Chains A and B, each alone.
Chain A
């Protein structure tokens, strides 16, 4: 059973925003809604790092936990999806998500906030796979066509990997081993410290968001 995950290699991401463009084009995402975006740390400084961020399809998703109308569900492949017919657009999920994945289209004279929109891992929604109704609300359903998310598949440097967690982590692990670095940028050691530092988290550098 596949467990779908994204991982972005910060050593490779060149902030081209190709993933953002691919997502918007593939799903006809409206203005003001970015299901995926690229975040750059220390922008313009030597050693800047970029990472492509969207819904991470958490195993224990906080958005699912806080939704008052229980509009979220998880597929057998571990993709966190939601039902726009049930969503009331309250925004609780937006506050709960650590990645800022939930997006809310605003339109009309008073900027009325619409129903939540987020990355679907190109898996659509509860409507029939590949149907016009599904496309209208959630965009393309590439998984049902035997394809992987458009953002990962078209990434020019293959920084963004998407697919079964076991497969993409193997690809990433092999890459880190071959080039001999990269694990310090993204992984357990960055979050929880390395044995050399006594298990203490590393001191954070001054971070400037772009």
Chain B
């Protein structure tokens, strides 16, 4: 009788241990250099998805489009 009582108390005390964690879990992001799963037509030319160095170079090249001193160099 006493053993059964202790076992039931132990089971009751351990019930909370099986409770699942509430709330959402933050997802991890896929790096941009892995490319887009969207329409291929929107992807800029000049680099290959998955190649980080090519992606870095693509963005560096593209950033120079904001530099009018490289787009229209001064005339001699």
Residues on the A chain within 8 Å of B56, using CB: 1-2, 164
Least Cβ distance of B33 to chain A in Å? 8
| Contact B63–A129 (Cβ < 8 Å) | no
| Contact A141–B32 (Cβ < 8 Å) | yes
> How many A residues, CB 8 Å from partner?
43
8 Å CB contact of A146 from B30, B38, B47, B65: B47
| Contact B46–A146 (Cβ < 8 Å) | yes
Residues on the A chain within 8 Å of B43, using CB: 145-146
Residues on the A chain within 8 Å of B59, using CB: 2, 143, 146, 148, 163-164
Segment of A35-43, A78-86, A184-192 engaged in the interface with chain B: A78-86
| Contact A152–B66 (Cβ < 8 Å) | yes
Among residues 149 to 171 in chain A, which have CB atoms less than 8 Å away from a CB atom of chain B? 152-153, 155, 158, 161-164, 167-168, 171
Residues on the A chain within 8 Å of B20, using CB: none
| Contact B60–A75 (Cβ < 8 Å) | no
Residues on the B chain within 8 Å of A73, using CB: 26, 28-29
Residues on the A chain within 8 Å of B34, using CB: 129, 144
8 Å CB contact of B65 from A69, A83, A141, A153: A153
Question: With A75-B29, A83-B26, A86-B26 in contact, is A129–B62 under 8 Å at CB?
Answer: no
Least Cβ distance of A147 to chain B in Å? 5
8 Å CB contact of B69 from A86, A153, A155, A175: A175
| Contact A69–B23 (Cβ < 8 Å) | yes
A73, B59: Cα distance in complex, Å: 22
Which residue of chain B is the closest to A123 with respect to CB atoms? Answer: B32
B42 at the interface (CB under 8 A from A): yes
Q: What would 26 A/B residue contacts be, using CB atoms closer than 8 Å?
A: A69-B23, A73-B28, A83-B26, A86-B26, A126-B26, A126-B27, A126-B28, A128-B30, A129-B37, A129-B38, A130-B39, A131-B37, A131-B38, A141-B32, A144-B32, A144-B36, A146-B46, A148-B62, A162-B63, A162-B66, A163-B66, A167-B63, A167-B64, A171-B67, A171-B69, A175-B69
| Residues on A facing B (Cβ under 8 Å) | 1-2, 69-71, 73, 75-77, 81, 83, 85-86, 123, 125-131, 135, 141, 143-148, 152-153, 155, 158, 161-164, 167-168, 171, 174-175, 178
| Residues on B facing A (Cβ under 8 Å) | 23-39, 42-44, 46-47, 55-56, 58-60, 62-69
